[in-house]
Amino acid sequence: MEKRILSERSKVNRRGALKVAGAGLTGLSAARALPAAAKAVTGALRADRLRVEWRESPVGIDSLQPRFTWEPMARDQRARGLAQSASRVLIARSRAALDAGRGEVWDSGRIAGAHPAAQPPAPLMLEPHRDYHWCVEISDQTGRSCGRSAPAHFVTGLLAADQWQAEWIAATPDRPRGSHSRGSDRSPARPPEPLPIFRRAFDLPGRPRRAILSIAALGHGDVTVNGTPVTRAMLNPGWTDYRHTILYTSHDITALLARGANAIGVMLGNGMYNVERVPGRYVKFVDSFGQPKLIARLDMELADGSLRTIVSDHEWQTREGPIRYSNVYGGEDVDGRLEIPGWDRPGAPGAGWRAPLGVGGPGGTLRAQGIPGIEVQRTIAPIRVTPLGNGRIVYDFGENCSARPRAVLHGPAGSRVRLRPGEALDPDGGVSQRSFNASPKNETRFEYILAGRGAETFQPRFIHQGFRYLEAELLPLEGGGQAPRIERIEIDFVHAGLTQVGSFDSSEQLFVATHHLIDQALRSNMASVLTDCPHREKLGWLEQTHLNAPTILYNRDAAALYEKMAIDIADAQQPDGMVPGIAPEYVAFLDKDGGDTIWRNSPEWGVAAVLSPWAAYRAYGDRTVLERAYPAMVRYMAYLAGRAVDGVIDFGMGDWYDLGPKPPGESQLTSRALAGTACWYESLRALARIARLTGRPMADAARWTAQADAVRNAFNRRFFRADRASYDTGSQCALAMPLALGMVPAGRERAVLDNLVAAVRANGNGVTAGDVGFRYVIDALTTYRRDDVIDAMMRVTDRPGYGQQLQNGATALAEAWDANPTKSLNHFMLGHGEGWLYGALAGIRIDFAAARPERIVLIAPRPVGATRAAAARHRSVLGEVASRWRNDGGGLLLEAVIPPGPGGTVIVPTTAPEHVTASGKPVKGVVVPGGLEVVLGSGRYQFEALV
């Protein structure tokens, strides 16, 4: 392990420090004291990873002022002290014009600055469904041009509502909503309705020069052209509150069209758009925005330059498809006998087709889907197959993940195969669905009726589910006969294609396993929202978007997703400013009298309106998300102020799922008022900074600061026990939140910290804080450099925690610390330890809200305990940030990577700052707690130190 982490070329010198072959160090400010390196060559950078609205070569940009970003990279990986000093963006209508240096759509001119981004100051004259070519020319720190980047391109979507010129079409009219109201419908179950399929045939005189299709298919749509899928993504478009926002996807289908006959095919699914109760099937809630429907527009430029447009209208055809039941919770049933070979290809459609109905849409604004779709990430074969008798077989796939099964089946027409997913097994070896809140009379399953056509492949289309096990039931025809058989069965691990930008490794295998445990749960819950679990609820619970922001943002490029979630929050916000616990709010958790329950209205969840966009800004440095979300932030802060009594708010869930004497649920060990009020204070402090960053009047920032100070004073009056330097009940959560947030009266911090450490030690180094509190336990102990305590907590295996879950065979993080099998076994809400692994143990931190530019990138590892080595990498918007250290017992070697830009700060951990060296030569810096601080320019560095 250690040899994988650090170079074997290191060796211990006579003083016990590690000596590494390599060039001297150079950098900015304090770095000038380091040994000099070769001067960077002229034009030392190149622009890479060109993106528009966070996407590479995107199709479907609907902004007239899109954001352009890139990553400055060193041409010579040995170079140091590099930075972008200016940039110039060119956008052209053709590649030839761009190659000639003509930016007829936009020429930004010279933009001074190191941040690798640009945005037009005024709307561009963009046309819908057209491709554009662009590049960026950057200058390095000497002011010399680095030349133009390789060209990139983007394709616009539809830029205004009136450009659609299409109508919503459906197979059946919408049902009257009746008592349906945000998931509260309790109407009787009724038989399922089959899902419709649609086709549109057309002829072309030849292959077009360009063909762009934009479509919103609700709830979801699988789209093909001449039988070929237009995308690898599934479950498009993403989930929203369709009354406010409807996402559409755009696709360049030029290569799929041909001269002569062509056809577009669309198979519709229900998704979250239409959730209905069906006998015998599990459902979390019941609600419908309407029956499945679609709206589409296809624009084609033909070879002669003429244009042709096809829109959704009465010229399309529709009929029932083979999917007889589909529910985001209950599963999916397919009748293979009803499949129509070639239905989405050119040719005669056959009997049974009819014109669709023109219907109304659900009311939301159509917006381009800027987030990555859900795709197959990995295919997994079973590791164990267990026959149970009577046609039942259990397949164990070895890991709990969000997946869709895929089976190759043989059998006579009319025979059936049922697949029941589950995270655990019953005592008899069958699949248990207790963690889904399902039961044999109210289950989730996938069912296929065979057509008797030889090998038949069955895979559900419009649902993904969290599970490890599948129980197959092979059912012959009623009255007897041959049962079907399974030739092969696999599962596809599916999740949103958020690019992986982080990695962690360590000599401590328990920590590596913990990282994978948390990451498995995160990936399983990456959809078009960040779900709580991939089975029982699949809802966008908001607390994890800010409390677990380090877990998410270290590992994944989630900039676009965080912007989309901010829109979801604004759409869900109530007229009085209240932000519900989930967004989109598909179900309102109300009591029998129609009032809000703790699950609907809890401040630790609602403050995501402020703290989630704030986390995104700190990670990516783009103020757009703050500017868009600011009105919702202000309204929510006003709502909380209106609910406060004597400066304290007392409602909601508090420290959800803390580890108390009762089964997990609402806070047991800490007053809910403490958690809610502390989160309110944190939000006010953040909002004051956001007001300044977004150019609001100075009075705004002053107002939020004054409110925060008043809340802090009220908090301490209510909860601080001065005589014993404690808060509230003295729980881990109660002590950690004020410490982490800077609420403790001056001079008393150390005493409160001692009590927090004692609270952890008294529990055998085990955690008792829950979903809310554990984040602040990590933050408080990190802030006060008690990494030894976190290290001990992360190693515990004899009581509930990460280690015990791993010891008991977990492959994804569970909802409850004790991995209670009646709760979800795939939940990332307790994954706060990931922030410590990356940010403290390995020691990389990115914060665009840092007080000084050179602190945006901070590398400050903290070797602790028995860990001998750790490493982390993160691909930030500036470029790669990496830390890798190894402790041989007598000396420490630290390798650090800082991307081109404003430089960075490295704190070399050492007990002897005067003996820190680079290539055997002394390094000067500033002595700080824990080590020697050195400010550097970009580059790769190696330090040796005594520890």
For 737-774, the three-class secondary structure string (H helix, E strand, C coil) is: HHHHCCCCCCCCHHHHHHHHHHHHHHCCCCCCCCCCHH
Domains of the chain: residue spans and CATH: 2-38+853-945 (2.60.420.10), 45-156 (2.60.40.10), 168-359 (2.60.120.260), 376-496 (2.60.120.260), 502-842 (1.50.10.10)
Give strand ranges (E) for 476-612: 485-496, 502-506
In three-state form (DSSP H/G/I as H, E/B as E, the rest C), the secondary structure along 472-513 is EEEECCCCCCCCCEEEEEEEEEEEECCCECEEEEECCHHHHH
Average pLDDT of the residues in 327-337: 98
Can you read off the two tokens belonging to residue 921?
């030569």
Average pLDDT of the residues in 899-916: 96
* Sign of the torsion formed by the C-alpha atoms of 361, 367, 368 and 371: negative
How far apart are alpha carbons 744 and 748 in whole angstroms?
7
Q: What is the CA radius of gyration of the chain?
A: 29
| Residue from 618, 549, 540, 498 nearest 832 by CA | 549
How far apart are alpha carbons 677 and 185 in whole angstroms?
34
pLDDT 10s digits, 68-83:
999 999 999 999 999 9
DSSP letter for each residue of 161-227: GGG----EEESSPPPP-TT--TTB--PPP----PPEEEEEEEEESS--SEEEEEEEEESEEEEEETT
Is the separation of the CB atoms in 209 and 308 below 8 Å? no
**What are all long-range contacts of 383-392, with beta carbons under 8 Å and residues at least 24 apart?**
386/429, 388/428, 388/429, 388/430, 388/471, 391/473, 391/474, 391/475, 391/483, 392/430, 392/471, 392/472, 392/473, 392/474
Using left for φ > 0, alpha for ψ between -120 and 50, and beta otherwise, residue 41 falls in: beta
Residue 13 pLDDT > 60, yes or no? no
Could you identify the residue written with the tokens 């050119």?
346
pLDDT 10s digits, 180-191:
445 555 667 788
Give strand ranges (E) for 93-175: 106-107, 111-112, 117-118, 131-139, 145-148, 152-156, 168-170
Number of neighbouring beta carbons within 10 Å of residue 95 = 12
Give the per-residue pLDDT at 17.
32
Strands 357-359 and 168-170, how do they pair?
A: antiparallel
Average pLDDT of the residues in 29-39: 35
What are phi and psi for residue 230, nearest 5 degrees? -85, -10
Give the per-residue pLDDT at 177.
57
Average pLDDT of the residues in 523-531: 98
Q: If DSSP codes are grouped into helix, strand and coil, which group holds residue 4?
A: helix
Give the per-residue pLDDT at 336.
98
| Residue from 65, 906, 73, 1 nearest 505 by CA | 1
pLDDT 10s digits, 299-312:
999 999 999 999 99
Average pLDDT of the residues in 867-872: 98
Give the per-residue pLDDT at 27.
30
Non-local CB neighbours of 1 within 8 Å, separated by 6+ positions? 505, 506, 507, 509, 869
Widest distance between CA atoms in the chain: 88
Residue 730 banded pLDDT, cuts 50, 70, 90:
very high
Can you read off the two tokens belonging to residue 859?
């590398």
How far apart are alpha carbons 720 and 714 in whole angstroms?
10
Residue 12 pLDDT > 60, yes or no? no
Q: If DSSP codes are grouped into helix, strand and coil, which group holds residue 14?
A: coil
How far apart are alpha carbons 560 and 471 in whole angstroms?
37
Residue 543 banded pLDDT, cuts 50, 70, 90:
very high
- Distances from the Cα of 822 to the Cαs of 136, 520, 709, in angstroms? 54, 20, 43
What are phi and psi for residue 482, nearest 5 degrees? -75, 135
Give the per-residue pLDDT at 31.
32
Give strand ranges (E) for 476-623: 485-496, 502-506
- Percent helix, strand and coil across the chain, each rounded to 5? 25, 30, 45
Element (H, E) at 128: none
Q: If DSSP codes are grouped into helix, strand and coil, which group holds residue 535?
A: coil
pLDDT 10s digits, 473-515:
999 998 788 999 999 999 999 999 999 999 999 999 999 999 9
Non-local CB neighbours of 696 within 8 Å, separated by 6+ positions? 630
| Residue from 664, 435, 443 nearest 536 by CA | 435
CA atoms within 13 A on the CB side of 394: 18
Beta-bridge partners for 323: 334
Give the per-residue pLDDT at 480.
82
How far apart are alpha carbons 703 and 682 in whole angstroms?
14
How far apart are alpha carbons 285 and 182 in whole angstroms?
9
How far apart are alpha carbons 544 and 551 in whole angstroms?
10
Average pLDDT of the residues in 859-870: 97
DSSP letter for each residue of 681-729: HHHHHHHHHHHHHTT--HHHHHHHHHHHHHHHHHHHHHHEETTTTEETT
How far apart are alpha carbons 313 and 200 in whole angstroms?
10
* Sign of the torsion formed by the C-alpha atoms of 673, 675, 679 and 681: positive
pLDDT 10s digits, 802-859:
999 999 999 999 999 999 999 999 999 999 999 999 999 999 999 999 999 999 999 9
Number of neighbouring beta carbons within 10 Å of residue 12 = 15
Residue 522 pLDDT > 50, yes or no? yes
Residue 40 pLDDT > 80, yes or no? no
Number of neighbouring beta carbons within 10 Å of residue 288 = 18
Give the per-residue pLDDT at 19.
29
Give the per-residue pLDDT at 182.
56
Average pLDDT of the residues in 427-438: 94
The whole-model pTM stands at 0.94
Non-local CB neighbours of 385 within 8 Å, separated by 6+ positions? 393, 394, 395, 396
Is the separation of the CB atoms in 417 and 486 below 8 Å? yes
Amino acid of residue 593? D
How far apart are alpha carbons 582 and 579 in whole angstroms?
8
Beta-bridge partners for 394: 386, 471
Above pLDDT 70, what percent of the chain? 94
How far apart are alpha carbons 653 and 464 in whole angstroms?
29
Is the separation of the CB atoms in 356 and 198 below 8 Å? yes
Q: What angle do CA 356, 361, 367 make, to 5 degrees?
A: 120
Is the separation of the CB atoms in 289 and 271 below 8 Å? no
| Residue from 579, 633, 561, 274 nearest 588 by CA | 579
Is the separation of the CB atoms in 547 and 522 below 8 Å? no
pLDDT 10s digits, 675-691:
999 999 999 999 999 99
Can you read off the two tokens belonging to residue 390?
């009577």
Give the per-residue pLDDT at 5.
32
Number of neighbouring beta carbons within 10 Å of residue 565 = 26
Give the per-residue pLDDT at 183.
58
Q: What is the mean pLDDT of the chain?
A: 94
